[in-house]
Amino acid sequence: MNVKIPSIPLFFWKILLVIIILLTWEGVARSGIFSSFIFPTITDTLVYMGGHVDELISATSYTLQLLLAGLACSCLVGLIAGSLTMISRRIRLGLETVVSIISPIPSSSMLPFAILWFGLGSSPIIFVTFFGSLCPFLINLVNGFTTVNKTQLAVGRNFGLKGFDLVWHISLPASLPHIITGFRASWGTAWRSVVAAELIFGAVGGKGGLGWLIYANRFQLNAPGMLGALICISIVGLLVENVLLEILERKTVKRWGMKND
């Protein structure tokens, strides 16, 4: 007799996986294998988060502000630079050379220079976020522009489009799947960059967002506090990846038949 297993939506599979991870963590923490100072339980972490809601919201909001500033700058510069590659092949080769030079450099390694250039405050963190997120977005954008169907470009030229008009009306819409993929990669890099920069910068500036909260709780031996900040980082990442970007793809490239489900 064949037993038919009911179909479970992908979203609930993801929730189930998260629950399994949390229960596994809780079981290991309660087993006594590791000290609670280095391996806190999920329940202790949730208690900490419940008692520091305002602090966690404030830290998350501050980190997101820095992230959005750096990410907006990288997308703007990437769109301008990527558009220039459609005008001249020499510009494209020069840009590819520059990207190949700076892309292997970890964004956090630029923080000492950023502090020298911009001083203390939020500006160095924004610069590091911009530096880390620029290359992934630009690489995907250029790949999208260079793989646009030549027939589409020819039709655009027949209608009198050239230069930035050709990029805006033909290349940009046709490259949308690559652009969204680039933004997804750029967002992930930017999120990691801003948190890493706050971890380092916290020792200098004494304030910040989630990264600084992890840094501060480390000196207080507050493992639930550190884990609580990490959970906030993961929650933001899950919301952006599985909600905002999924909606964007569904409303654009999937709806227009440019990408399969």
Residue with tokens 């590791």: 34
* DSSP code, position 109: G
Nearest to 231 by CA among 28, 35, 48, 36: 48
Domains of the chain are 69-209 (1.10.3720.10)
Q: How many CB atoms lie within 10 A of CB 66?
A: 24
CA distances to 62, 67, 121, 195, 207 from 113, rounded to whole Å, are 22, 19, 14, 18, 19
Residues 138-161: tens digit of each pLDDT? 888 888 877 777 787 787 788 777
75 SS3 class:
helix
Do 81 and 95 meet the contact criterion of CB atoms below 8 Å apart? yes
Average pLDDT over residues 109-128: 86
Residues 49-89: tens digit of each pLDDT? 998 899 899 889 989 999 999 999 998 998 888 878 777 78
CA distances to 2, 54, 67, 191, 257 from 70, rounded to whole Å, are 55, 25, 5, 10, 32
Please indicate whether residue 70 or residue 200 has the higher confidence score (pLDDT).
70
74 SS3 class:
helix
